[in-house]
Amino acid sequence: MAEDDLPQIYLVTPPQMDDALPEALARLLDAHPVACVRLDLATRDEDTLLRACDAFRAVTEERDVALVIADHWKLADRAGLDGVHLSDGSRQVKKARADLGAEAIVGAFCGASRHDGMTAGEMGADYVSFGPVGGPDLGDERAEDELFQWWSEMIEVPVVAEGGLAEAELARLKTSTDFVAFGEELWLAPDPVERLTALRAALR
């Protein structure tokens, strides 16, 4: 496949913030083309989240990479981020869009629900993500290959594959998803840059 036809890379931060993380992200962005970064911390502490927004925005802005935050769209606006990723499907897409305006990115994670994905798109989501695709079976309903194939053929809203993406999943999904989202696939590796190199190779 030509490079322009490959799914774009979308990175998801680990749930815990540490001082080394922005530098680690910078190394990834300098090594590989990345379309979007999601700040996805477990904490709900506002000061911690705002400090993280500032630290990551300093990395992404100078590299012209979009930065969105998981769920806290009021902070997205205050911290000057590009938008929000909503983890509860279509429920709050309309409200987030109204608050953030037409220019902001509003994405929605819809599990494996075709219906929820379509609803999110109708309400103004810029992208819909489905998952988990692979990884350990923890009881979540898997987003099957057929869902991505159907979506790519029938729906114009861009689609993201996430959750448990390894070489086998990427080889299967490379023609039916617009973005592939990597989180712990990278951060748990001894060398995240090397791991992303291997994962990108699987897309070709």
Domain count, the chain: 1
Tell me how far apart the alpha carbons of residues 39 and 30 are, in angstroms, rounded to a whole number. 18
Which CATH number covers residue 145? 3.20.20.70
**pLDDT one-digit tens code per residue, 128-155:** 999 999 988 777 899 999 999 999 999 9
By residue range, what is the domain housing residue 31? 3-203
pLDDT of residue 135: 85
Nearest residue to 89 (alpha-carbon basis) of 53, 131, 44, 49: 131
pTM (2 d.p.): 0.96
pLDDT of residue 85: 98
What DSSP line would sit under the chain, residue for residue? --GGGSPEEEEE--SS--TTHHHHHHHHHHHS--SEEEE--S---HHHHHHHHHHHHHHHHTTT-EEEEES-HHHHHHTT-SEEEETTTTTTHHHHHHHH-TTSEEEEE-TT-HHHHHHHHHTT-SEEEE---SSS--SPPP--HHHHHHHHHH--S-EEEESS--HHHHHHHTTT-SEEEESHHHHTSSSHHHHHHHHHHHH-
Tell me how far apart the alpha carbons of residues 75 and 156 are, in angstroms, rounded to a whole number. 29
Span 58-86, average pLDDT: 96
**pLDDT one-digit tens code per residue, 3-20:** 668 899 999 999 998 889
Nearest residue to 80 (alpha-carbon basis) of 107, 108, 109, 60: 60
Q: Which residue has the higher pLDDT, 140 or 178?
A: 178
The total of other beta-carbon atoms located within 10 Å of residue 30's CB is: 11
Tell me how far apart the alpha carbons of residues 118 and 100 are, in angstroms, rounded to a whole number. 21
pLDDT of residue 136: 81
**pLDDT one-digit tens code per residue, 93-135:** 999 999 999 999 999 999 999 999 999 999 999 999 999 999 8
